[in-house]
Chains A and B, each alone.
Chain A
């Protein structure tokens, strides 16, 4: 049973370039969330995808966009890269069990993609 997988593991880009990161959720999971973790900081929520739509978004600019495919995998795209975008990008998956009490479904993280901007 494969866990959350992300690719690539490492990536080096220059300012102004565009990047696409990929994530395959854990088997049985239908929800994918993306987080940015700068060095020495805690993860910050970027956005979440469910049923191929962006369900919620954190405080990130429009340069950050995403997509979810019918097989639940997801992509994170970042345009016009800045030096401050250098971080570990984490994908987390979970299973949506609907509204109401008992929605204590934890998220499981992939190994992350370490993005360096030169």
Chain B
């Protein structure tokens, strides 16, 4: 079983739409949570960390539900530039700092 599960999509939404991505993680000892975005053939770039109380950064809102081992990302007022693959990323509570990635959810924002 994968450490992190995501719906691969694709999600095709019109400009201005609100879209939500979800992911689940299997290890209850997971400590840190992130959303990264990756453009085609580029490196992953940190979008935002995810905190237990939920956090917002402009049009992006991230939520964490530890009881359900569930993470979400909400994008409001989608822009064409939001088109990318969104990776749900988890770090286990171990001595090291390696990351486990979901397979990513592909988003295409349509004009």
A residues whose Cβ falls under 8 Å from a Cβ of B: 31, 33, 35, 41-45, 48, 50, 55-56, 58, 88, 90, 92, 94, 96, 99, 103-112, 114
Per-residue CB contact flags for chain B residues 44-79 toward chain A (1 = under 8 Å, else 0) read: 111001010000000000000000000000000000
B residues whose Cβ falls under 8 Å from a Cβ of A: 31-32, 34, 41-46, 49, 51, 87, 94-104
Is B96 a contact partner of A48 (Cβ separation < 8 A)?
A: yes
Is B45 a contact partner of A109 (Cβ separation < 8 A)?
A: yes
Report chain B residues within 8 Å CB of A90: 43-44
Write the chain A residue with the least CB distance to B51: A104
Please give the distance in Å from A22's CB to the nearest CB on chain B.
Answer: 15
Is B102 a contact partner of A42 (Cβ separation < 8 A)?
A: yes
A58, A99, A104, A110: which contacts B98 (Cβ < 8 A)? A58
